[in-house]
A and B are shown apart, each in its own frame.
Chain A
Amino acid sequence: DGGITQSPKYLFRKEGQNVTLSCEQNLNHDAMYWYRQDPGQGLRLIYYSQIVNDFQKGDIAEGYSVSREKKESFPLTVTSAQKNPTAFYLCASSILGGGTEAFFGQGTRLTVV
């Protein structure tokens, strides 16, 4: 079945450690996105990519990094520079342009312990 897979579903990190969240899609979509969701804040865009080896910062990119080495993969690294990383992270993908909808993964809940 086609779709987007995020892993792991739950992730615990010690303060000061970097952690990488996985996002894979087999929908042949060019565009991929990372969002952060906090209670009462809605979805805030971290990074997005429209083509392999290229990506743009979203509204809250500080403390995060991404790569887009393959069309189907868009991993997000939460670095130790992110002051408040505990949140629910959502990955999405879509056809490029045309005003089409995005498809979402099931999310990763990251908790800093």
Chain B
Amino acid sequence: GDSVTQMEGPVTLSEEAFLTINCTYTATGYPSLFWYVQYPGEGLQLLLKATKADDKGSNKGFEATYRKETTSFHLEKGSVQVSDSAVYFCALRDRNRDDKIIFGKGTRLHILP
């Protein structure tokens, strides 16, 4: 079945460092891909999305490009801030299958001042 694999955390960086969180997926159809962010004690918020190959999603300085050839959707940010500390989830939704949304296990990010 469909699945999402993302790098395990925690990831600890200093403020203004470059961030990459890897995400790869397995899907037999044509999924949309998402990154969600979760702050402590809260629900998930959509960070960015891409609906087809080569699309780039971006928001709040974060970017991710839908790479069908490598089945990847890596999250990047050029200069992280302390306020970016959270848990990040990669997810997919395959519109041609049973319409479930599949999540990775999440990556906890700590940014040090």
Instruction: List residues of A whose CB falls within 8 A of some B CB.
Output: 4, 6, 31, 33, 35, 40-43, 45, 48, 50, 56, 58, 90, 92, 94, 96-107, 109
Contacts and interface: CB of A to CB of B under 8 A. Distances in A.
Among all A-B residue pairs, the 4 with the closest Cβ atoms? A99-B32, A42-B105, A104-B43, A99-B95
B42 interface: yes
B80 to A, nearest CB: 22
A97 B51 CA distance: 12
A100 B32 contact: yes
B27 to A, nearest CB: 11
Contact of A90 (B44, B94, B95, B104): B44
A113 B36 CA distance: 32
Interface in B12-50: 30-32, 34, 36, 41-46, 49
Contact of A96 (B31, B36, B99, B104): B99
Given A33-B101, A48-B100, A106-B42, A42 B89 contact: yes
B106 A42 contact: yes
Contacts of A106: 42-43
Interface of B: 30-32, 34, 36, 41-46, 49, 51, 89, 93-95, 98-101, 103-106
Contacts of B89: 42-43
B4 to A, nearest CB: 9
Contact of B43 (A42, A58, A96, A105): A105
Given A99-B93, A100-B32, A101-B34, A43 B51 contact: no
Given A42-B89, A104-B43, A94 B101 contact: yes
26 contacts: A4-B43, A31-B99, A40-B105, A41-B105, A42-B103, A42-B104, A42-B105, A42-B106, A43-B89, A43-B103, A43-B106, A45-B101, A48-B100, A92-B44, A97-B95, A99-B31, A99-B51, A99-B95, A100-B93, A101-B34, A101-B46, A104-B43, A105-B43, A107-B41, A107-B42, A109-B41
